[in-house]
A = this chain, B = another copy of it.
Amino acid sequence: MSEPLRIAIAGLGTVGAGVFQLLAKNGALIARRGGRPLEVVAVAARDRKKDRGVDLAKVAWFDDAAKMAAEADCEVVVELIGGAEGMARRVCETALAKGRHVVTANKALLAHHGTALAASAEAKGLTIAYEAAVAGGIPIIKSIREGLAANRLSRVYGILNGTCNYILTQMRKTGRAFGDVLADAQKLGYAEADPSFDVDGVDAAHKLAILAGVAFGTKIDFAAVHVEGIRRVGAQDIQFARELGFRIKLLGIAELGEGGLMQRVHPCMVPLETPIAHVEDVYNAVVAEGDFVGRVVAEGRGAGAGPTASAVVADIVDIAHGRRPMTFQLPAGELATPKALGIDARRGGYYIRLDVIDRPGVIADVTAALRDEAVSLASMLQRGRAPDERVPVVLVTHDTQEAAMRRALDRIARLGAVLEAPVVIRIESL
């Protein structure tokens, strides 16, 4: 058996400890599979004394992760600090500058600096691997980059945030409101104390930008992702979705067409017949559509110590085997920069919920606004009647252009009888 692959780990939170536990339990098997043992030789974290259930006796300790990335006697630096800037970025840049491979679970870093990091790595013949950054334990980066390497992909989309999927699933199962379910999710550890990163769609957008890069061979363009979260999805929307034969999911969708690349994260109505409608709770799923393979779906746990450690170690095994894939399908210098299409260019159906005062003429005004923008109505639902009181009215449109729908909606929102900003959920036929 060959020499061990020497690894340094920056950051010893849940995932870092998970990597230790995984190697302790499965290290011997992995060595047989890889023909080479994996050995953690150095660790950097803030508090040396904290008990993480991990044996650090044989490991060099660094208080400064960047110093470790520069000086540890290793071939691979695993970055598990997180965040787009600061120490995480410094660790990765230092490791590459010093000739070490990098394995990271850091989606924010890659969404913001992925193309530059890829270029640095490739210039030195090094790998920057990031399977754990997207959809946790699902080996989707490998599947897209290698498994579907023969295909031209036209679309990639998925449920990329487990917290949101958990909240939406619980809202559906219990009929409770977003805020209540979020509070519970926080208690259970499925949502952070400050949940905005997850529930406002930013985390999913980071992952989507990375997925688009590797699926299409394009420069990562996080700034161009249209992002909406799930805060405005109401219990009644969940109920209406049920009646209409849909489930509400927060999807990240990237489509590359003649006109350019559209990337968007927002709540969607998806038909019950489509596979991801049934991906529930904290599970993630990614769908890739290729010209020869057709539709491929991968589902699994998107977060947590075990699944993330599984992805991190798979990347390390690739390095141990000498497998050196391109970071994003093509050499960093050859990545395309397609035109970024804004959400205005989106075409599809819309679910619109209005809160209106139930009085004569309201519906006529609403439908006139739609007609004037050539937005064609597929159906309308009004729940009960309550003269001069507030009632929800749901409109479902045929396929139309987002820009036209927005213009109609601006006019509708200004109607005196419309009480709150309309809730708009895009219908994705998928």
Contact = CB atoms under 8 A, between A and B. Distances in A.
Interface in A322-355: 323, 325-326, 329-330, 334
A32 B334 contact: yes
Interface in A106-135: 131
Given A32-B334, A137-B294, A139-B143, A150 B300 contact: no
Interface string A158-174: 00000000000000000
A388 interface: no
Tell which of A131, A138, A150, A314 has the most Cβ of chain B within 10 Å: A150
A263 interface: no
A149 interface: yes
A227 interface: no
Contacts of A279: 275
Nearest to A136: B293
Contacts of A150: 22, 26, 30, 309-310, 312-314, 317
Contacts of A131: 147
Nearest to A18: B292
Contacts of A11: none
Contact of A146 (B22, B138, B139, B148): B139
Contacts of A297: 297-300
A321 B291 CA distance: 22
Contact of A293 (B33, B137, B291, B334): B137
A296 B149 contact: no
B300 A299 contact: no
Interface string A300-314: 110000110111111
B152 A147 contact: no
A313 B32 CA distance: 28
- Interface hub of A34, A147, A148 (most chain B Cβ within 10 A): A147
A233 B147 CA distance: 35
A279 B273 CA distance: 10
A278 B29 CA distance: 34
A256 B197 CA distance: 40
A119 to B, nearest CB: 16
Contacts of A317: 146, 149-150
Contacts of A323: 146, 321, 323
Q: Give the 10 A-B CB pairs with smallest separation, nearest first.
A: A139-B147, A150-B313, A137-B293, A293-B310, A296-B300, A292-B306, A297-B299, A292-B310, A149-B317, A294-B301
Given A32-B330, A150-B314, A292-B310, 7 more contacts: A26-B152, A142-B143, A149-B313, A149-B317, A290-B310, A292-B309, A294-B306
28 contacts: A18-B292, A25-B152, A25-B291, A26-B150, A33-B149, A131-B147, A137-B292, A139-B142, A139-B146, A139-B147, A142-B147, A143-B143, A146-B317, A146-B318, A148-B310, A149-B314, A150-B314, A278-B278, A290-B310, A293-B300, A293-B306, A293-B307, A293-B311, A296-B300, A297-B297, A297-B300, A298-B298, A321-B325
